[in-house]
Amino acid sequence: MTDDASLARRALPLLDLTDLGESCSEAAIDTLCRDARASAVAAVCVWPHYVGRAARLLAGSPVRVATVINFPAGGDDIERAVEDTTEALADGAHEIDLVLPYRSVLAGETGTARAMLAAIRDVCDGGRLLKVILETGVLATPDAITAASRLAIEARADFLKTSTGKSAISATPEAAEAMLCAIRDHAAGHPVGLKVSGGLKTVADAGTYLALADRIMGPTWVGPRTFRLGASSLRTALVAALGEAGR
């Protein structure tokens, strides 16, 4: 098997297959869920109003349904975030990707972020995962990314996630490294994973982040419970690499 095929085989079960485009439709969700089933990815990530449809289409499969809250702006409205989360969970979401109020955190005002994280953590129970989007392209510096990572870890986030994919700078290896180091150094007693999201398109992109996780966390750490790749088009490249290997 070629190196690309080996990477693709490893990466595909870690994929959060995503459609958060402005033109998303019911037909697009149907296709997304069909592809997710076919490739046995970890999850689909969809707008909240499509959670119910995705949950019905994926019923009986191991593919989980994720949705986004406080997205993409990362505002300070805790009550709205709790209401949206509660509705999404009732509709069948298994995972909540919550945007941290990152502008407040950057301004040194962490109280709102802590309160929002605590409130959403309270309603994400029974095996439902809380993934906290840091928006690392805006946080920008390793120190700011590390501080935001620690804040989310202290709130018992299940995953740290790099980006919304809606800012000028999405995931970078430098940001992922800072987050992985924070997980390694500060997540004692509570398993915390990493979701890399925003701008991933090629098998090489997946390989970069897998190698980073292996180096920092060890070669046995990566799995769907600890590491995700959030992308809309990456599946196409991964499936193509596997197809090429079979020729």
Clarify whether 201 is annotated catalytic: no
Tell whether the torsion through CA atoms of 74, 118, 196 and 31 is positive or negative. negative
The answer to whether residue 195 is catalytic is yes
Does the annotation mark 131 as catalytic? no
Q: Which of 97, 131, 158, 205 is catalytic?
A: 97
User: How distant, in Å, are the alpha carbons of 19, 170, 204, 217 from that of 93?
Assistant: 15, 25, 30, 29
Look-up: residue for tokens 């009550």? Answer: 79
Active-site residue among 131, 158, 195, 205? 195
Q: Which two tokens stand for residue 151?
A: 């804040």
Using DSSP bridges, classify how beta strands 95-99 and 64-69 pair: parallel, antiparallel or unpaired. Answer: parallel
Q: Which residues are catalytic?
A: 97, 161, 195
